[in-house]
A and B are shown apart, each in its own frame.
Chain A
Amino acid sequence: MNKEFREENNPQAVNKVGEENQNGPSPGEKSTERRLVENAQNGDKKAFGQLIRLHQKKLFRYIYGLTGSFDQTEDIVQETFIKAWKALDRFNPEYAFYPWLAVIARNSAYNQISREEKKESLDRVQEKGFDPVSQELGPLEKLLDSEGKKRFYKALKALPVKFRSVFVLRHFENKSYEEISSFLNVPPGTVDSRLYRARQMLMEALKDLL
């Protein structure tokens, strides 16, 4: 089992709507989101479609950061929304919607990694993620409209997964050290050192952009 992605499956352990969350929508958006969630819970497909459009990009960025694979990310994001739709009745609309999606997506990513592990050794997966170590971005390149973005994602993809996962959780998801430690089941000190290492590697790769 890949401990890098082991985490507590606690979808409700997320910010309530209205609580401060740097990553979340603004207060107005929050109330809009809550209405969309409640409408979707009442069977409003259009409302759920809006929720998909509201969150899919951020979710994709997060999962791509974890997996480094465009195809896997596409599948996981799609699967996440399907699972969310099926389980929507169990979601408490008082809470922010994105963190719930993110937990579902992380679990899916974890499941995929577990399956990958059956084929490959743990160390190998940890080192290279799903894709062979490569800076080729593949289809993702079409979604990056500047050279700087391409450089950034190539550098991110080149990071070993144990560093990349910590970096993504911190920078994309604004998770605290304690949360990252809990999600990845590693000591807080390890989060500290891996984050420092990830930052150093990226700064080295992107120093001309800094």
Chain B
Amino acid sequence: MDHGYFKDRISAYYDNNLKPEEQVVIEEHLKECEKCRKLLAEFEKLDRLVEEHSQLGGEKYWEESAKKIEKSLGFEEKTAITEVASSRWFGLTWKLAAVAASVVLLTIVGLHRDEIWKEEKPEKRLKSVPSVVTPTDSVAEIITDELKHARPAEVDEDLADREVQKIEKPKPVGRSGEVVSEEAKIPGIGTSAVTPKKGEPADVGKAPSPAVVERSRDDVAARAKKDLPEPDVVEPIVSDNRLQEAVEKAEEQADLYKSITPEKETEPESLAELREQKDSLTRLMVAEGRWKDKSDLAQSFDGKESKKKVKRTPADIENDLLQTCYKIALLTEDKEEYKSVREIIEKVARDEASPNRELAQSYLRQLSEQN
């Protein structure tokens, strides 16, 4: 038999891939042929060489590669956003407390409107204050802090006296004579129908003069005659609207960060979530001044620009935005939306100063390949 035939079959014999009858023939040949035995031995050596020399090293590269893949999957992004969001929520605590406090105060005012307007309906005063209105230290401090910026109120001192007795504040500030206590300065509790006039000096902690008290009574009577709104409206409670502003700011930030902060540790799965996330991140980019040209982002910018400064670097936000846009590009079937998010990625890919430029270029390359 032709020696070439055996050489061809030795490879299959080595892999144990011959029919039994062929195998017998090859084994017989191997006993006689030195060249074929040598060839078989070389196959074995090659096998060992492949086993030994095909293994890849560079552990650092593989760890980076794994992280890159995880980032593409949004694993790291999620963690980062959660951490930042947590710290932001922590930072917002006082504002949220202010929201809670305002709700409590509105409730109190609502319940005590008859007392506040006592000169009209003194007989309808509430006899007790619901337990819910007992202020905690923190809430009282927040409110007091708000009032430090407020103007000295014109106080119904009798009402203030009565309210002070009802409110259990851990560290009550004493009062004397006609002086209104600290507690009485809590809006809606001791300061009824507060409408301080601008230009008057802040004087928290001091009692209003008898003249002021008298004027207060007059004001109350006058307001009652004019059928002014019920006092459970915010306006008469905090005259300079600082509390309201705090509430609005808190709500604005809460809305903004809620959209990029998952409530649980899960990947945003729907396009709607991704779109919302993209819009929020885009707003942050504009707010940071990183992207000054809003017209470039017209399709995703809804005009609700956040004026809040954020602690995360613009590069981080840009990175998150890139990933979100990439995911949308992968998922969306809307050509216009695809074009929109791709433009954002292209914008970063063109930006030589951007640390995310390479990532953007990588995304563009992958999107091109997907197409």
Residues of A within 8 A of B (CB): 43, 45, 48-49, 52-53, 56-57, 60-61, 74-75, 77-79, 81-82, 85, 112, 115, 142-146, 148-149, 151-153, 156, 170-172, 176-177, 192-193, 195-196, 199, 202-203, 206, 209-210
Contacts and interface: CB of A to CB of B under 8 A. Distances in A.
Given A79-B366, A192-B12, A144 B65 contact: no
B186 to A, nearest CB: 47
Nearest to B8: A196
Main secondary structure of the interface of A (DSSP, over half): helix
23 contacts: A43-B266, A45-B73, A52-B70, A53-B62, A61-B54, A75-B369, A78-B69, A78-B72, A85-B73, A112-B369, A142-B58, A145-B57, A153-B54, A171-B50, A176-B17, A177-B17, A192-B8, A196-B7, A199-B46, A203-B42, A209-B49, A209-B53, A210-B42
Q: Which 6 A-B pairs have the closest CB atoms?
A: A196-B11, A143-B58, A152-B53, A145-B57, A210-B45, A45-B75
A23 to B, nearest CB: 12
A210 B42 CA distance: 7
Contact of B57 (A144, A170, A172): A144
B349 to A, nearest CB: 16
A42 to B, nearest CB: 11
A26 B50 CA distance: 21
Contact of A78 (B8, B52, B56, B68): B68
Interface string B53-67: 111111001110110
A202 B42 CA distance: 11
B73 A74 contact: no
A57 B62 contact: yes
A210 B49 contact: yes
B46 A192 contact: no
Interface string B348-363: 0000000000000000
B15 interface: yes
Contacts of B66: 49, 52-53, 56
Given A56-B66, A79-B366, A209-B49, A177 B12 contact: yes
A152 B50 contact: yes
A203 B62 contact: no
A132 B183 CA distance: 83
A65 to B, nearest CB: 8
A70 to B, nearest CB: 11
Contact of B58 (A49, A145, A196): A145
Given A115-B369, A192-B11, A45 B70 contact: yes
Contact of B11 (A53, A151, A199): A199
A162 to B, nearest CB: 16
B94 interface: no
Interface of B: 7-8, 10-12, 15, 17, 42-43, 45-47, 49-50, 52-58, 61-63, 65-66, 68-70, 72-73, 75, 78, 265-267, 365-366, 369
B57 A195 contact: no
Contacts of A203: 42, 46
A188 B47 CA distance: 21
Contacts of A49: 66, 70, 75
Contacts of B15: 170, 177, 195
Nearest to A176: B17
Nearest to B14: A199
A153 B50 CA distance: 10
Contacts of A209: 49, 53
B46 to A, nearest CB: 6
Contacts of A52: 66, 69-70
A24 B126 CA distance: 78
Contacts of A176: 17
B62 to A, nearest CB: 6
Contacts of B72: 78, 82
Contacts of A151: 53
Contacts of B63: 53
A202 B46 contact: yes
Contacts of B52: 148
B56 A152 contact: no
Nearest to A142: B58
A123 B365 CA distance: 25
Nearest to B370: A79
A210 B46 contact: yes
A156 B10 CA distance: 21
Contacts of B57: 143-145, 149
A152 B54 contact: yes
Nearest to B371: A115
A68 B61 CA distance: 18
A77 B267 CA distance: 21
